[in-house]
């Protein structure tokens, strides 16, 4: 297992957002997390790299296991984050750095890759997401779709074991979804392990190995897309699918 989560609990004040969630993601697997807003799916994915600190449960990524709710050394959290990368809804590119510098930043200042080597690799990755000509552009000059593709290249540059996508197309104009999803589709085909929180049902149908449906802080349905989208067990899932289909 690349990611293994047990009994995850998280509350914001009085609101219990995660009520004991289990999740396993195998190597090369693409898991799509769906659910109505407020169901806890974004919180779940943010717990996987400890951007949110759960109150209870365990998070384990590639054998680095963290028990939540107790103090753990910062080094252990970093170790876990070194094996994951995240693509954010709002891109979160560094606005003071060019596209290439954004992609190089992690390798150079965290993984201590020599600058020249990181630059070469950065250009390669930007080419891979179709932005070879945008290396020297600052984020302000890029469209939303281009920004998100730079963010994906930046994630890849960390050579993660798994990439966590938090609603990667939700902040984009509809006509820009395709270019981002295309890049993600290729990543999946190349065997990248991915956890994707998204409402893109077409993407989930085509790319996901497994769909996880959350509601009210728990996973209420889980299965391969072929079954999930045609014969879900749970009435909440059927209602949700009717809504997003219309």
Would you tell me which residues interact with another protein (CB under 8 A)?
49, 51, 74, 78-79, 81-82, 84-86, 88, 90, 92-96, 105-106, 109-110, 138, 140-141, 154, 158, 164
Find the shortest distance in angstroms from Cβ 93 to another protein.
8
Residue closer to another protein (CB basis): 86 or 237: 86
Interatomic CA distance for residues 244 and 154, integer angstroms: 31
Residue 239's nearest CA partner among 39, 50, 72, 27 is 39
Residue closer to another protein (CB basis): 96 or 242: 96
The b/e string for 185-199 (b: 16+ C-beta within 10 A; e otherwise) is eebbeeebbbbbbbb
Residue closer to another protein (CB basis): 29 or 52: 52
Residue closer to another protein (CB basis): 165 or 203: 165
Find the shortest distance in angstroms from Cβ 4 to another protein.
19
Find the shortest distance in angstroms from Cβ 236 to another protein.
30
Interatomic CA distance for residues 80 and 222, integer angstroms: 25
Phi, psi of 151 (to 5 degrees): -60, -35
Interatomic CA distance for residues 17 and 47, integer angstroms: 11
Residue 80's nearest CA partner among 9, 4, 17, 148 is 4
Find the shortest distance in angstroms from Cβ 183 to another protein.
18
């Amino acid at each position: 297992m690349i990611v293994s989560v047990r009994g995850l609990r998280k509350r914001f004040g009085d609101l219990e957002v995660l009520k004991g969630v289990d999740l396993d993601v195998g190597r090369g697997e693409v898991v799509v997390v769906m659910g109505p807003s407020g169901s806890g799916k974004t919180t779940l994915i943010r717990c996987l790299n400890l951007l949110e600190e759960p109150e209870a449960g365990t998070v384990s990524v590639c054998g680095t296991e963290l028990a939540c709710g107790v103090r753990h050394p910062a080094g252990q959290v970093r170790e876990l984050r070194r094996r994951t990368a995240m693509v954010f809804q709002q891109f979160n590119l560094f606005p003071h750095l060019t596209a290439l510098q954004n992609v190089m930043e992690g390798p150079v200042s965290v993984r201590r890759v020599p600058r020249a080597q990181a630059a070469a690799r950065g250009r390669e990755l930007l080419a891979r997401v179709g932005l070879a000509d945008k290396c020297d552009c600052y984020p302000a000059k890029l469209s939303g779709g281009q920004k998100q593709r730079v963010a994906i290249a930046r994630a890849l540059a960390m050579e993660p074991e798994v990439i966590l996508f938090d609603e990667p197309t939700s902040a984009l104009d509809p006509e820009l979804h395709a270019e981002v999803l295309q890049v993600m589709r290729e990543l999946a085909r190349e065997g990248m392990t991915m956890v994707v929180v998204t409402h893109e049902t077409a993407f989930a149908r085509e790319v996901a190995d497994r769909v996880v449906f959350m509601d009210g802080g728990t996973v209420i349905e889980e299965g391969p897309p072929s079954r999930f989208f045609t014969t879900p067990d749970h009435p909440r899932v059927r209602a949700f699918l009717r809504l997003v289909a219309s």
